Amino acid sequence: MDISKTVTCKAPINIAVIKYWGKRDEKLILPVNSSLSATLHIDQLCTTTSIAGSKHFPEDRLWLNGKEESLENPRVKTCLQEIRKRARKRKISDDESNPEDWKLHICSENNFPTAAGLASSAAGYACLVATLAQVYGVQGNVSDIARQGSGSACRSMYGGFVEWLDGESSCGSDSIAQQVVDENYWSEMRILILVVSDQKKHTSSTAGMQTTVKTSELLQHRVTLIPGYMETMRKAIKDRDYRTFAELTMKDSNQMHAVCLDTYPPISYMNDTSRSIVQMVHDYNSFHGETKACYTFDAGPNAVLYVLEENVSEVLSLIHHSFPPSQDNKEYIRGLDSRIHDIPQGL
Ligand code: DP6
């Protein structure tokens, strides 16, 4: 069978320091607030997607982690439709068959537990859209398409520190991700992922946010604070000002989880181990009389610490001391160490 084109890409996860929590448009995935994250360089946590396009394939097909899935998933469908729309706009050279006639075989693999609060949908949709863009030769910012797969996925389309602008338009054309600084700018920054649990989370981010938007008054207050947070965070990153960066990262995470508790019925993503990590970080910082570590939590109990390189070994020793590994110790934390990554890679 003549396959017209095959492309494989790998995309990393990202971890927000100013969190996205709440949509103003469910279908277009437009957020109620801007957010900012770092893209992680970590081989243990990424998605690899291969797409073959051929005019001889009778239909589009999709395999996730080796299992064939229906293409009726509206988010996957939207990403395909949108990229094809954009492909139609680009000029096609004479010697190329018209990619609009192609059907696609899409194979995507996560090398980490899906939906465990480890940003799997971010890497998944970023990888899908980056690979589709290469198959169809679509250039430019396609983060607005990745956003329609999963909001946070748009930030994984770039490396380094990345912001996702809430935008003003109702069609979402200005709700895009853009790089704040590249992966080499703050090269001393390291990210430690503390895997408290890799079980599937009880309330997905999508469902949790919907209830929050409907019921939380605290969210209305948070939305008014975010423009100031974004400005402070951008400046802290540009000035490599760890203290400001770290304090705002912790406050923003605590606020997002406070908003989750203010949701009715309340949503509680952190567990006792998560709260012990929070305490451990604050004890460590006050022991030194200086902010040397900070934490952030997504929609799950796993902690992510942003730490400068010079403090990584001390913080890792502290974690191993506080949560020692043993066979039946449920508190044992698997630590993963990461640097900041560049953009999704074609392989
Ligand atoms: C807590 O991007 O997974 O990780 O847009 O509904 O797919 P959907 O949600 P998703 O939400 C991520 C929420 C978060 C915070 C963040 O990454 O900014």
Local structure of residue 163 (DSSP, 8 states)? E
- Secondary element (H or E) of residue 194: strand 189-195
Does 258 or 320 have the greater pLDDT score?
258
Q: Which tokens in the block code for residue 156?
A: 């994984």
pLDDT of 136 reads: 92
SS3 40: strand
pLDDT per residue over 12-58, tens digit each? 899 999 999 999 999 999 999 999 999 987 777 889 999 999 999 99
Q: Which atom of ligand 1 is nearest to the CA of 75?
A: 7
Residue nearest to atom 6 of ligand 1 (CA): 206
- Which tens digits make up the pLDDT trace of 124-167? 999 999 999 999 999 999 999 999 999 999 999 999 999 999 99
Nearest CA to ligand 1 atom 7: 150
Gap from CA of 298 to ligand 1 centroid (Å):
8
Atom of ligand 1 nearest to the CA of 151: 5
Of the candidates 84, 112, 77, which has an alpha carbon nearest to the alpha carbon of residue 98? 84
Looking at residue 100, the DSSP 8-state letter turns out to be G
Q: Which H or E run contains 36?
A: strand 35-41
Q: Note whether ipTM > 0.95 here.
A: yes
Terminal alpha carbon distance of the chain: 23
Best of 14, 17, 20 for a ligand 1 pocket test (most atoms within 8 Å of beta carbon): 20
Q: Measure 126 CA to ligand 1 centroid, in angstroms.
A: 13
Say what the pLDDT of residue 68 is: 95
Which tokens belong to 71? 């293409």
Kindly give the distance from the C-alpha atom of residue 299 to the centroid of ligand 1, in angstroms, as a whole number.
8
What pTM, to 2 d.p., does this model score? 0.93
